[in-house]
Amino acid sequence: MNFIVGLPQTPSKHDPVLVVVDQLTKRTHFVACKSTDSASNIAELYRDSIFVLHGILGEILSDRDPKFTSAVWTTLCAMLGTCQKLTTAFRHQANGGTERLNHTIESYLRAFSNGASTDWDSYLVMAEFAYNSRFQQSISMTPFEADLGYLPSTPATVMNPPQPSSTERQRQALGMTFLELQADRLATVRRELQKAADRMSKYYDSNWQLQTFEVGEEVLLPTENLPNYHVGTTKQKLGARWIGPYAIVNRFGHDYYEIKLPIGVKFHPVFHTRYLKPYGKLVEDIVGCKRVRGKLKYKVKWLGQARRTWEPHGNLKYVGDLINRFHQRKNKRVSS
């Protein structure tokens, strides 16, 4: 569950969209709302658009929007017996691939709405229907088929002639067949989701080597996801790319760390290791590259240190400009 924000305001004053995705069936709901909506307003939209169709949810995973961390929303989840889970700072991947979904929704709305895109809320239900009717590779079927057991009719399908009525025994047999088919479909969905997760895990492992830190070490934070007032400028492009250093005070599992933030900083203090940069160990230049068992590694010249080390590409994503310069130099030497 998350918001798509920054959309053109419609005559009804709608500008964000609340997106709710069932992680099993991938069935998705798009709910138009207003940036001025309070947590109570969002709770009412949830009741009218989600609860009425699916009942009480066992678990809700959301980002850390203030509406989802408010006392109103937390109390609502507690009263319904719904387990509330919040993603860690910047960790968009944990929220069901919402970035890709958001781009898909925006493309749907552009296709349906007018040239100025100010009437997108009028077509939101059609965009939702189209999305849930679309084949999803991760589950090998459409969200409608995974959730309902069938693909709802469209104007094209209702023109087909009706099927002859069945006897009572035939209807019972069809009912059992439907239940068995739906159980089989859900089992297929779970298998396909596991395959997709395994593929993503394999890709992730081959492209990223986890950085590890000890409690007490100091790290830097990237500013790309932070409000401008944390960066020290009103124009983020003019601000520092990294801020800190901040001391690590706790470790959770293998790849999440809690850092000690200054008083007054409001964002969540737990970060994935990919968003942390060791303090006092800065890359001066990239001087070589090679492949080891299919994985790309770069030879790093560290600032103020004579020793050069080979590092996985995944650990150097924060110095992409230096990597690009290295390849430009390399290509220039080859062409000359």
Rounded mean pLDDT, 284-306: 85
pLDDT in tens, 299-319: 988 876 777 888 888 777 667
| CATH number for the segment(s) 2-134 | 3.30.420.10
Angle at CA 86, nearest 5°, toward 316 and 211? Answer: 20
Rounded mean pLDDT, 192-201: 63
Share of the chain above pLDDT 70, in %: 67
Query: What's the predicted TM-score (pTM) here?
Result: 0.54
pLDDT of residue 233: 45
- 115 versus 137: the higher-pLDDT residue is 137
Q: Is the pLDDT of residue 155 over 70?
A: no
Asked if 257 and 273 touch (Cβ cutoff 8 Å), the reply is yes
Rounded mean pLDDT, 89-118: 61
Q: Which amino acid is at 23?
A: Q
pLDDT in tens, 119-133: 888 878 888 888 888
Q: With CA atoms as reference, report the closest residue to 258 among 216, 292, 203.
A: 216
Domain boundaries, the chain: 2-134, 211-280, 282-336
CA distance 197 to 195: 5
Q: What is the dihedral of CA 30, 31, 33, 35, to 10 degrees?
A: -40
- Mean pLDDT lowest among 20-24, 127-131, 233-237, 269-273: 233-237
Q: Is the pLDDT of residue 209 over 60?
A: no
- Structurally, what CATH architecture does the domain formed by 211-280 represent? Roll (2.30)
- What band does 34 get if pLDDT is binned at 50, 70 and 90? very high
Q: Does domain 282-336 have CATH number 2.40.50.40?
A: yes
Q: Is the pLDDT of residue 178 over 70?
A: no
pLDDT of residue 234: 43
